[in-house]
Amino acid sequence: MFNHPLIHTLKSLRGNTRGCVYTEPLWGIPYNLYSPYISVYMVALGLTDGQIGLLASIGLAFQVFWTMMSGAITDKLGRKRTTFIFDIIAWSIPCLIWAAAQNFTYFLIAAIVNAVWRVTNNSWQCLLVEDTQEHLLVDVWSWVYIAGLLAAFVSPLTSVWVDKFSLIPTIRGLYLLAFVMMTTKFIVMNMMVKETQAGLSRMHETKEQPLFAVLRGYPAVFMQIIHSPKMLLTVSLMLAVGIGNMINGTFWAIMVTEKLQVPDRHLALYAFAKSITMLFFFFFAMPRLRDMGERKLMLLGFLGLVFSQVLLISVPVKSYGLLLLSVLLEACSMPAVNILLEKLIVVTVDAKERARIMAILYVIVILCTSPFGWIAGQLSEINRRLPFGLNIVLFGTGILLAYIALRRTERVTGEG
């Protein structure tokens, strides 16, 4: 086990990558403890499906602004400083608001403040990858995801607490725990990392420029994306995955509790099964599947996601076993899609312009994604299975895009 390639990579990490990966459980564990309950917590406090979908769309709309600003802010302030300041704003403050939430207004304010995470998403990724060797990227991103999955070992406690204390007090407590752990993470990581070489260069180049003047270079960067088939293919994959993840994250718990009549307290058990399966996949399946090629693996991942959604909308009421099968199938498929997409983003982005290209990429994704929170909310009010029918279309599109990427690679390399 200790000779496992993932373990070897973890022990050999140095510098910023070490600081980012080693502290990630302090964010990933609390987030993955409360995230399965976000939507049912809202429902318990009186929000409708339509309001929940509206919150998702409003949050994405504010994220557009902060995503557009993220590249300029990251270049001006530096990767390290930007990450520390905006992590506190984006996560520590909203956790306190969510913990005290009483109605739609609280969640609206929290969604607007939380939208700032788009800035730190850019700066943190730059910290993580800019001084990291390319051959380590898959393992590094695997550990980032694994950090969140460690919550699996304590998530059954959430089920016990919900059963004993009821849903609302338990989730309030989890948000307070998240505030403490996440804030600790931001402080400790800031002490462990230093500014990247690319960050120092961009800070020097933009030192005399006003913040908004840095934005004037965006049209040229946008044209660089438009004229790159690889970047267009990448952003299309980002859209399919991003919308699908938003729909699952927002409406899965509502579908399961309201449509399939699974008790709230059992949600943590499904989250536990999903996390354990994903951990198993990272450690035992991914190393053996790499030889098949990354794009073929992504293609299989999208196929698995389609079947998981088909199974989900076919599950009869209170069919716990079939629901578990759907969850496990998704758990085996999502790591392949997410990890390989993260690497694809890194290797197709010009390193010198990483912050601004990432900003524009995510603006495109958010603008195209934001209406789908409202659309999925309306679909859910008609029939709670419909949002997942939309996911089938999205992941089916991902199959087509992954196939195009595979064929293009084969033509370039001459590989079968």
Q: Report pLDDT digits (tens) over 280-311.
A: 888 887 777 666 666 778 888 999 999 999 99
The Cα 215–Cα 189 span in angstroms is 29
* pTM of the predicted structure, to 2 decimals: 0.73
* Nearest of 238, 202, 239, 207 to residue 221 by alpha carbon: 202
What one-letter code names the amino acid at 372?
A: F
Backbone angles phi, psi at 45, to 5 degrees: -90, 10
The Cα 82–Cα 70 span in angstroms is 9
Is residue 356 within 8 A of residue 221, CB to CB? The reply is yes
- What are the structure tokens assigned to 144, written together? 């980032």
Q: What is the pLDDT of residue 177?
A: 96
Q: What is the pLDDT of residue 88?
A: 97
Residues in the chain: 416
Q: What is the pLDDT of residue 114?
A: 97
Q: Which residue has the tokens 């302030």?
A: 77
Q: What is the pLDDT of residue 415?
A: 44
* Nearest of 283, 273, 278 to residue 337 by alpha carbon: 278
- What are the structure tokens assigned to 321, written together? 């076993």
- What are the structure tokens assigned to 339, written together? 């990890």
Q: In whole angstroms, how large is the CA radius of gyration of the chain?
A: 21
Q: What is the pLDDT of residue 47?
A: 93
The Cα 410–Cα 416 span in angstroms is 6
Torsion sign across C-alpha atoms 275, 178, 195, 360: positive
The Cα 145–Cα 279 span in angstroms is 9
What one-letter code names the amino acid at 75?
A: D
Residue ranges of the chain with per-residue pLDDT less than 50:
412-416
HSE on the CB side for 45, CA within 13 Å?
21
The Cα 37–Cα 81 span in angstroms is 32
Q: What is the pLDDT of residue 414?
A: 47
Residue 227's CB is within 10 A of a number of other CB atoms, namely 9
Domains and CATH numbers, the chain: 14-208+216-413 (1.20.1250.20)
Q: What is the pLDDT of residue 276?
A: 86
The Cα 36–Cα 34 span in angstroms is 6
* Nearest of 98, 117, 113, 118 to residue 47 by alpha carbon: 98
Is residue 384 within 8 A of residue 262, CB to CB? The reply is no
- The DSSP-derived string for 339-394 is HHHHHHHHHHS-GGGHHHHHHHHHHHHHHHHTHHHHHHHHHHHH-TTHHHHHHHHH
The Cα 57–Cα 377 span in angstroms is 10
- What are the structure tokens assigned to 154, written together? 């304590």
